[in-house]
Amino acid sequence: MAISSNTAQKKTALITGASSGIGNATTRKLLQEGYRVYVAARRVEQMQELAQGGAVAIPLDLTKDEEIMAALERIVAECGSIDILINNAGYGSYGAIEDVPVDEGRRQFEVNLFGLARLTQLVLPKMRENKFGKIVNITSIGGKIYTPFGGWYHATKHALEGWSDTLRLETKAFGIDVVIVEPGGVKTEWGHIAANNLRKTSGGGAYAKAANNAAASMHEIYSGSRLSDPAVVAATILKAITAARPKTRYHTGYMAGPVLWLRRWLSDRMFDRIITSMV
C-alpha cells in the first residue's frame, strides 16, 4: 500500500463507508496512486489497517449532523479543502414494503441520501472557491432497476440518481465534476446483511415463502464466485476522478451492463417477468 509521489499531486480525497467492501478497496487504490485519503465510517476500528497504510480514519455517522460537521472541519483545518468526495456509504434493509416500518424507510433515506447530501453541501463552497472538485456518488444498478423486497433501497438509489444529475448541472460552471458509479453484483457483506434483514422482516408473514426464497438466493449468490471483486469498482472510480472530462455515469461489476440493457429496451411487464423469475 505504498504511496507514490508523482501521480496525484497530493489531492485530498474523502471516502465514506470505507470500513469494508468498495470503500476499503477504493482507499487502497487511491493510496497507491499518491492521494491524501481520509476514510470515514461508523466503525473506526475496522479502518485501522487503512490507517496503518497511510489513510486518516475518522468517525462518521451520516445520520448525525454534528459528526458530519466535525469531520469536514477537521479535514479543512488539516488540508485546506477536499478535492475529491466519494459518497460510498449506504445500506439496504430489505423486506416487503407492507412489512418494513416507515421509520426504517426514513433511516435508509437518511443514510443513503440526506446524510450524503448534507456532506456534499458542506464540501461545495471550497470546491467552488478552488474551481476544482470531483464528486463521485456510488449508486447501483438498483438505481435504474427494481427487485422484490428492495423497495426502500431502490427508492433511495433512484432518488440519488436524479439528485446527482441536478447537482452535475448546477456545479459544472464552477469546475466541479459530478459522476455516478453504478455497480452491479459486487462481492461484499452487503448481500448477506440485506438477506438477513429480509428474513427478519418478512420471513414469517404473508410474504414468507417468496421472501425466504429470495433471501436464500441472495445468500447463495453472495457466497459464490460469480460476483466482481470490489477492486473492479475501485478501478472504475479511479478512472472517473482522473479523467479530464469524465462520463456522467459508469456502470461496472457483474451483470451491470446486461441488466441495464434489458431495463432500457424491455417493457415494464417483460422486465417484471424476468426479475420475478430470478428470485
The catalytic residues are 153
CB–CB of 218/254 below 8 Å? no
Q: Which three cell numbers stand for residue 62?
A: 451520516
Amino acid code (one letter) for 129: E
CB–CB of 89/21 below 8 Å? no
- The number of angstroms, rounded, from the C-alpha of 147 to the middle of its chain's C-alpha atoms is 18
Strand partners, 85: 14, 135
* Nearest residue to 240 (alpha-carbon basis) of 184, 181, 186, 165: 181
What DSSP string describes 112-170? IIIHHHHHHHHHHHHHHHHT-EEEEEE--GGGT---TT-HHHHHHHHHHHHHHHHHHHH
